[in-house]
Amino acid sequence: MKNLNLFLMLIGAIFLNSCSNEVAETITYKINEPIFMNLDEFRASVRVLPQPTEIKEQGKIAFYQGFMYVSEPGKGIHIIDNRKPERPRNISFIELLGNVDMAIKGNTLYADSYIDMVWFDITSPADPKLQGRIENVFPETLPIPENQYLIDDLKDMDKSKEIVIGWKVTERTEQYVKNRDPWWNWGWSKDVISSPNSNFGNIGGGGIGLTGSMSRFAIYKTYLYTVKNNYLGIFDIERPAPKKAGDFYVGWDVETIFSYNDNMFMGTPTGMLIYSVTDPLKPAKMSSLQHVSGCDPVVVENDIAYVTIHSGNNCGQNNNQLIIIDVKDVINPKEIITYPMTNPKGLAIDNGILFVCDEGLKIYNAKNPQTLMENIIDHKKDMEGYDVIAFNNLLMMIAKDGIYQYDYSDLKNIRLLSKIPIGN
């Protein structure tokens, strides 16, 4: 009994002490509140404007049979007649809410629109025709905030009736009890809560269009592969009306995908994944190659993979590198060499010539990876390159201020052919 009384006294003392540490504090912080749109209104909003529209923000690029397709994040797709790259003409615009990525096969353009997949007949690029839509194939897709504040809880959202199409920043003031409420138990300070979160972020001829290295869409034979929200989505596009053929969980925050031979090379914040698609409906993991954390696109030529790692708001680190990897044996890829870079983003490789968006555009003879830095061919400066497509001696680069096109048929005299302005 004596021991029991002592035990109860100790419990009481601990309880009283814990109560005395509960200090209420007022916290003011900013958060992104969702802007909703009715689903029916969203799906009826697709329009084709048969006249050029100013490109206001850089996005991703695709190229097919002399025409360039340029996504403007969240807004739609600009179509450029590029049959004379020295005089490109902006000819039409597909107004497509929530668009980020696209891919082309035959005369069909496939594109995302937030949670849906849509496709267009581009037999006449100046007048694309909407052909169909598959609903809810990217169910967790949300627009990316223009800031880095946390996003609000969406538990009350009715996904059967509405969709998130944007964010508005709201300032909130709330009370939290120190040592009791979740904010404090996680060890977060008022400064962290009220400040931006730096880690926020959950071929031109023939029948298949070329896409840049930042693309999350890739085509293999009669299948379209997409990477979003840790899933590899598979679409059967052999039929006039595509259908979803499956979702394959890869367990990584995949950012980019590149099709090479019978494999998909995927870039993640912590490494490169290689999946065989020999059986297109049953991707098989061949290997993964780990690297320092960072955002990373991948391109491959002649069994050599080129990966850039760049720092930035959503990448969570300060590493900037170019990694060259021998992928002849996809089960056992071997790193050849790593080079420091300034802030590399998209890249392209064509017949041993490597193009890297870093401090503008850097062009290398990459035929000997060990001496790549010693064999820089040219460095185009005074622009902030984002992604590139190299095809038939034509280099198309999308940058923050415009789309630059270069003729690299003479490597001793790489010429600027044209620039389409972006933004003001």
pLDDT of residue 176: 62
Tell me the C-alpha to C-alpha distance, in Å, between residue 113 and each of 129, 266, 319.
16, 22, 32
Residue-averaged pLDDT of the chain: 86
Tell me the C-alpha to C-alpha distance, in Å, between residue 26 and each of 29, 172, 175.
10, 10, 4
3-class secondary structure, 376: strand
CB contact at 8 A, 102 and 62:
yes
List of residues 6+ apart from 204 with CB closer than 8 A: 63, 64, 65, 210, 389, 391, 392
Average confidence (pLDDT) over 312-340: 86
CB contact at 8 A, 254 and 273:
yes
Q: Which amino acid is at 75?
A: K
User: pLDDT tens digits, residue range 365-403?
Assistant: 999 999 999 999 999 999 999 999 999 999 999 999 999
Q: Greater confidence, 254 or 11? A: 254
CB contact at 8 A, 118 and 207:
no
Average confidence (pLDDT) over 55-78: 96
Q: Which residue has the tokens 């890829």?
A: 333
Query: Is residue 362 within a helix (H) or strand (E), and if so which, with residue range?
Result: strand 361-365
Residue 415, Cβ neighbours under 10 Å: how many?
11
User: pLDDT tens digits, residue range 179-217?
Assistant: 555 543 433 333 333 333 323 322 444 489 999 999 999
DSSP state of 198: T
Dist CA 316 CA 297 (whole Å): 16
User: pLDDT tens digits, residue range 76-122?
Assistant: 999 999 999 999 999 999 999 999 999 999 999 999 999 999 999 99
Q: Quick one: tokens of 335?
A: 């790193």
Dist CA 129 CA 78 (whole Å): 14
> Furthest-apart CA pair in the chain: how many Å?
96
CB contact at 8 A, 225 and 217:
yes
Residue 21, Cβ neighbours under 10 Å: how many?
10
pLDDT band for 317, please (50, 70, 90 cuts): low
Task: Determine the number of helices (DSSP H) and then strands (DSSP E) in the chain.
Answer: 4, 32
Report the percentage of the chain scoring pLDDT > 70: 84
Dist CA 346 CA 363 (whole Å): 12
- Comparing C-alpha atoms, which of 353, 255, 361 is closest to residue 298? 255
Is 273's pLDDT higher than 90?
A: yes
Q: Greater confidence, 354 or 313? A: 354
Average confidence (pLDDT) over 222-228: 94
pLDDT of residue 275: 96
Is 361's pLDDT higher than 90?
A: yes
pLDDT of residue 1: 46
Q: Greater confidence, 386 or 157? A: 386
